[in-house]
Amino acid sequence: MASAAATTDGAVPETESGMPPWPQLIGFLLMAFGMFMAVLDIQIVSASLTQIQAGLSASADEISWVQTSYLVSEVVMIPLSGFLARALSTKWLFVLSSAGFTIASVLCATATSINEMIVYRSIQGFVGGAMIPTMYAGMFLMFGRRAQTGVSVAVSLIVTLAPTIGPALGGWISEVASWHWLFLVNIIPGIIITVGVWALVDVDKPDLPLLRRIDLIGLLTMALFLGGLDYVLEEGARHDWFADQTVLTVFIVASLAAVVFFWRALTEAEPIVNLRIFANSNFLTGGLLGAVIGIGLYGLVYLYPLFLARVALLSSGQIGATLWVTGLSMLLVAPLTGMMARRSDPRRVLLFGFLMLALSTWMTRGITDEWRFAELFWPQVVRGVGLIACLTSVSVTSFATLPMDQIKDAGGMFTLMRNLGGAMGLAMINTIVLWRTNHHWGRLAESVNPGRPEVQAQLDALTANATLQGLADPDAVAVREIGHQVMEQAMVMAYADCFTVLSWMFVIVAIIPMFLKRPPTLASVAAAESH
C-alpha cells in the first residue's frame, strides 16, 4: 500500500489519500511560508532601492549590491543544502535556516552604512537560501504520490507569486512606513515558523558523522564557482562584460574553480553536491527546462517594471497596481493545471505552458510608450497561465522517478537551475536592451535632421514653449528634449526586440519535451505504488 511505501522510503507515514498526519501538515505549511519569505526577499527591495540608497548615503554602484549580495550568497547555499540536510536532517536545517534568516533580517533593518547592509544581506541570502530546497525535499518526503500534484501546484504558486508581488509589496511598505520595515516584517513570522517547524516536523534522522567527512576543497571551489558565475551574470551587462577588469577576473577565477569543483564532485566518496542525480534523464531535462522557466519568471518580473519605470515613469505603487494581474491569473488557473499535471502527459502540459509564455511575450512585441495597465492586461493573464502550467509539470516530471535518498540533493539542484536560469535571463535581457537601444538610437538620430521640415517645426515649438516658461537658453532646452524623445523611442524599440527574442526562445524550448521518452504521470506512479 501507499503508506507502507512511504514508510519504507524514510518518509513520514501517510494516510490512504497520501496526506501526512496533521501536525506534519501544519509544519509543512510553515515551511512553505518560510520559503515564500526567502523568495520574496530577493525582489522586495527592488522597488525601494532609492529610499535605501538615500538612507545609507550609498552611491548608485554600491546600492545594486543590496540585491546582488543576497543572490550570490543564496546561490552558494542552495546546492550545499542537500549535503547539510543529509547531515543535520531536513527539520534541523530548516529550523537553523529560518532562525538565521530572522536574525539577519533584524541586522539588515538596523544597518547604518551600505557596507553593513551588504554584509547583512549576504548573511540573509546564505542562511535563508536553505529554506527553498529543503521545503522541496520536505514535500516529497511528507506527501505520498497521490497528494503531490496538489501540493506541487501550491508550491509552484508560492515560487511564482513571491517574486511577482515582491516589488509591489516592497514599494507599498516603503511608501507607508520606511525601508527598514522591508526587513522588520520578517521577524514575527520568522519566529513562528522556526518554533513551529521545530515542534511539528520530523521526517528523517541526522547523520552527524557526515560533517566530519565534509569536502572542504569542494565547498570552497563550489562557492567560488557559483558565486563568481552569479556575479558575472548580475554585473556583466552593466559593466560591458569582459571589458571590465573585475568581471573578467571573477570569470577566470570562477572557471578555474569550476574545473576543481566538478572533479571533486565526481571523485569524492561524499561530495558536497551529488551530481549523479543528473543520470536520471527526467531530472536532467526538468532541471534544464526549469532554467528556461527561470528566465520567464525572473526575467519578465524584471522587464515589465523596467519599462514602466523608465518609459511610463510610473511610481513603485503604480507599477505594483499594474502587475498584479499575473498573480491573479495563476491563482485562478492553478486547479486546472494541477488536474492536467496529474492526468495528462507532462510533456504536453510543458508544451502548452511554454507556448503560453511565447504568446504572452509575442503579444507585447508591438509595445509603445503609451502602454499601461489596459495594454498589458492580457499579456499578463497569458503569462500567468504559462508560468503555473510550466512550473507544475516540470516539478512533477523532475522528481517523479527519483529514489527517496536522492530527493534532498535534487531539491537543491532543481532550485539552483531555476535561479541560475533567472540570472542568465536578466543578463540576456540587459544585454539585448542595451545593445538594441544603442542600435536604434543611432538609426533614429540619423533621421533627426534639422534640415527636415517636420524636425525643424518640432524644434521651433519646443523653443517657443521654453521661451514662454522663461527658461535659460531655449534652443538648448529644445535640443535636449528632442534627444530625450529619441532615446525614449529607442528604448521602447529595444524592449519590443527583447520580447520578440523571448518569444522565439520559448517556442523552440516548447518543442524539446516532445522528443523525450514519456515520463509517468503522478496518477500512474501512485497506482503502481498502491500495488
CB 320 within 8 A of CB 166: no
pLDDT at 95 over 90: yes
- Does some domain include residue 206? yes
Express each pLDDT in 405-445 by its tens digit. 777 677 777 877 887 787 788 778 888 888 888 888 888 77
Express each pLDDT in 260-287 by its tens digit. 888 888 887 777 777 778 877 778 888 8
Q: Residues with Cβ < 8 Å from 503, sequence gap 6 or more?
A: 358, 359, 361, 362, 365
Mean pLDDT of 88-96: 90
Concatenating the DSSP letter of every residue in 32-83 gives: HHHHHHHHHHHHTTGGGHHHHHHHHT--HHHHTHHHHHHHHHHHHHHHHHHH
- Does some domain include residue 479? yes
Mean pLDDT of 203-216: 80
The count of other CB atoms within 10 Å of the CB of residue 406 is 18
Q: Do 519 and 471 share a domain, yes or no?
A: no
pLDDT at 193 over 90: yes
Task: Using a pLDDT cut of 90, give the percent of the chain over it.
Answer: 13
Residue 105 lies in domain? 1-214
Run of H or E residues at 91: helix 90-109
Q: Do 374 and 225 share a domain, yes or no?
A: no
Give the rounded distance of the alpha carbon of 428 from its chain centre: 15
- Does some domain include residue 135? yes
From CA 417, how far away is CA 288, in angstroms rounded? 7
Q: Do 290 and 182 share a domain, yes or no?
A: no
Q: Do 154 and 188 share a domain, yes or no?
A: yes
Q: Do 415 and 483 share a domain, yes or no?
A: no
The residue with greater pLDDT, 311 or 61, is 311
Q: Do 209 and 311 share a domain, yes or no?
A: no
Q: Do 220 and 210 share a domain, yes or no?
A: no
Q: Do 154 and 296 share a domain, yes or no?
A: no
User: 506: which 3 cell numbers?
Assistant: 520559448
- Does some domain include residue 56? yes
Q: Do 228 and 240 share a domain, yes or no?
A: yes
pLDDT at 289 over 80: yes
How many domains, the chain?
Answer: 4
Q: Do 155 and 22 share a domain, yes or no?
A: yes
The residue with greater pLDDT, 83 or 344, is 83
From CA 234, how far away is CA 135, in angstroms rounded? 26
- Does some domain include residue 495? no
- Does some domain include residue 458? yes
Concatenating the DSSP letter of every residue in 126-178 gives: HHHTTHHHHHHHHHHHHS-HHHHHHHHHHHHHHHHHHHHHHHHHHHHHHHHS-
Express each pLDDT in 8-25 by its tens digit. 344 444 445 567 778 888
- Does some domain include residue 118? yes
Question: The domain that contains 389 carries what CATH number?
Answer: 1.20.1250.20
- Does some domain include residue 305? yes
Q: Do 166 and 42 share a domain, yes or no?
A: yes
Q: Do 370 and 453 share a domain, yes or no?
A: no
